[in-house]
Chain A
Amino acid sequence: MNNLLRKFYYGDILGEAPASSGAQQSDRQTWPLWEVFVRSKQGLDHKHVGSLHAADAKMAIENARDVYTRRNEGVSIWVVESTQIHASNPDEAASLYDPANDKVYRHPTFYDLPDELSHI
């Protein structure tokens, strides 16, 4: 079963152009994969909820409504073709996020101020 795996996690298909870039579109049999983001109520961000297959964006939104919002889970849906999402590499997480850790002065608790001081 191993050899059947194409490791296309969220977009970064190694050595392949994004599916929407024309040429390979016509000979593709299956509907492309879309990532779905739902805003649960006005005032909140859209949040990733999962993915689904659909022939185009319109169908992706309709399917997302049926699959991910059957119980008023959302008021707005975004869909993005999965191949269009690029992700940071988890193996580089240490070097990518470490520089932030030694800048403690970015946090308000770094500053030692007298207790009498108020409204600050």
Chain B
Amino acid sequence: MNQEEIFQQKVDTEVRIEPKDWMPDKYRQTLIRQISQHAHSEIVGMLPEGNWISRAPTLQRKAILIAKVQDEAGHGLYLYSAAETLGISRDEMIAQLHSGKAKYSSIFNYPTTTWADMGAIGWLVDGAAIMNQVPLCRTSYGPYARGMVRICKEESFHQRQGFEILLVLSKGTDEQKAMCQDAINRWWWPSMMMFGPKDDESPNTQQSMKWKVKRFTNDELRQRFVDICAEQIKILGMNIPDSDLKWNAEKKHYDFGQINWEEFWNVVSGNGPCNKERLDARVKAHEEGAWVREAANAFAEKQKQRAHKNSVAA
């Protein structure tokens, strides 16, 4: 067997691939792209929610939101460190994000205009993310799979706190109910798009499935998401903004309406409502933090030299 066959045999028999193992270059590149894109999404994903930390309705909601946003920062770090084991540096990944070369999930290019958005994001956006992430706990690349296990453990609080926000609003005043429905209306379709293009327009899916970098297709995961949400929304007494949503007894799944793919590609290619704002915020934070990174380096260097001098003198 040649190296590629040995590699594929490991993948087929569920033996995880570890950093120093031989792997096809294409596998390495695919993983770097997928993991770094995922990391960027966690980091940029802090921005829409960070927007509401200072305006959370109660101190407890504020503490919860801070904890959630802090988790997302942690998720980004787990993933960056997994990508680094493949040989790309953190600086290079950050540079790719800032130059616009690397993508992140388009969902974060939508604005958060009311408090109810914090609920809809937790329920739908984190919900869709969980749907994508749970199968990745068994992905073929060891460091990525281990990172995903850690992330999935933390995500379930995110989704539950989101649903609870909506639940409280759904039992509130007419105005609060309207706010709840409005947030669901705005976040439903972008969340559906989080699963990516339809299977027949997703050319890399087959290879990714063979490598077990992906475990289910976009359409499979999207269907699962619809089936679950269509039931959960009944508890809120709200509506999913899709007139075609209907239980199909024969298929034992919900049928649903057409996704606006033009909007999807438009946001992916940089023309969403907040693309520029999000990137600008990231770049600004990075640049304004430069002096901190430099100062810490200088301090560490000074300490090291001092320790060296002392050990020579002793």
A residues contacting B by CB (< 8 A) are 1-2, 4-10, 20, 22, 25-26, 28-31, 33, 49-53, 55-56, 59, 66-67, 70-71, 87, 89-91
From known contacts A26-B301, A70-B71, infer whether A7 and B89 are also in contact, taking CB-CB under 8 Å.
no
- A56 closest partner in B (C-beta): B300
Interface residues of B, count at CB 8 A: 39
User: Are the CB atoms of B90 and A53 closer together than 8 Å?
Assistant: yes
A-B contact pairs, 7 of them (CB 8 A): A22-B308, A49-B150, A50-B146, A56-B303, A66-B74, A70-B70, A70-B71
Q: Is B18 an interface residue (CB 8 A)?
A: yes
Q: Are A91 and B22 in contact (CB under 8 A)?
A: yes
Decide: A1 and B29 in contact? CB cutoff 8 A. yes
Q: Smallest CB–CB gap between B87 and chain A, Å? A: 4
A28 to B297, CA, bound (A): 8
B304 & A9 in contact (Cβ 8 Å cutoff): no
Contact with A along B291-304 (1 / 0, CB 8 A): 00100110111011
One digit per residue, 1 when the CB lies within 8 angstroms of any chain A CB and 0 when it does not, for chain B 73-97 equals 0100110011011111111100000
A67 in contact with B92 (CB, 8 Å): no
- Give the residue name and chain of the A residue nearest to B95 (CB): A4
**Contact, CB under 8 Å: B87 / A8:** yes
Contacts of A56 in B (CB 8 A): 296, 299-300, 303-304
Contact A52–B81 (Cβ < 8 Å): yes
CB contact under 8 A between A31 and B19, given known A4-B88, A6-B89: no
**A9: chain B residues within 8 A (beta carbon):** 19-20, 85, 87
Chain B interface residues toward A at CB < 8 A: 18-22, 25, 28-29, 32, 70-71, 74, 77-78, 81-82, 84-92, 143, 146-147, 150, 154, 293, 296-297, 299-301, 303-304, 308
Q: Once the chains bind, are A4 and B92 in contact (CB under 8 Å)?
A: yes
Chain A nearest CB: distance from B6 CB in Å? 10
Whether B89 and A30, one on each chain, are in contact in the complex, defined by CB atoms closer than 8 angstroms, is yes
Q: Is the CB of A89 within 8 A of B20?
A: yes
Give every chain B residue within 8 A of A6 (Cβ-Cβ).
87, 89
**A1 to B30 alpha-carbon distance, docked (Å):** 11
A67 & B29 in contact (Cβ 8 Å cutoff)? no
* Residues of B close to A8: CB separation below 8 A: 87
Query: What is the CA–CA distance of A1 and B95 in the complex, to the nearest angstrom?
Result: 12
Tell me which of A20, A51, A70, A71 contacts B81 (CB under 8 A).
A51
Q: Complex formed: what's the CA distance from A70 to B277 in Å?
A: 30
Closest chain A CB from B34 CB (angstroms):
13
In the bound complex, CA of A70 to CA of B81 (Å):
17
Please state if A31 and B293 are interface contacts (CB–CB under 8 Å). yes
Q: Are A10 and B88 also in contact (CB < 8 A) when A31-B293, A56-B300 are?
A: no
Given contacts A5-B28, A8-B87, A56-B304, could you give 12 more A-B pairs where the C-beta distance is less than 8 Å?
A4-B89, A9-B85, A10-B19, A20-B304, A25-B301, A30-B90, A31-B297, A50-B82, A50-B150, A67-B78, A89-B20, A90-B21
Which residues of the other chain, B, contact A90 by a CB distance below 8 angstroms?
Answer: 18, 20-22
